[in-house]
Amino acid sequence: MDWFLNIFSKFPVWTLLCFAAISVVTGDVLAKYWSTNTKPVFYFAALTAYAFSGFFYIPTLLREGLVVTSIIWSILSIVGFLVVGILIFKETLTPLQIVGIILGIIALIILKLGE
């Protein structure tokens, strides 16, 4: 376990959170591909990507609090989900959904600032 902690202590928290968010977004992309053709390779690749998200996220808790890291991870992930959903999967959002997303992100930012 010490080698694990030594490696990840060299990375800034932001970098680890970015890797964690990229991993979870990748997991969702693979899960979406699995949902459209149910090939087992997409299923297991999605699970692997989700596991990598935790692999990068958990060490951040040694240096920052749960609330801080969770909020930053959530915002990064939401932005990633939006980009992937709109650009790759050509999903559309209603105006009310857009307002909800904006309010959700604003709420996360307020929580972070209110510490």
Long-range contacts made by residues 81-87, C-beta under 8 angstroms, separation at least 24? 81/25, 81/28, 84/25, 84/28, 84/29
For residue 71, the model assigns a pLDDT of 86
For the chain (115 residues), the mean pLDDT of every run of 10, in chain order, is 81 94 97 94 98 94 88 90 93 94 87 76
For residue 6, the model assigns a pLDDT of 82
pTM comes to 0.85
For residue 112, the model assigns a pLDDT of 76
Q: Encoding tokens for residue 78?
A: 């939401």
C-alpha to C-alpha distance for 94 and 49, rounded to whole angstroms: 29
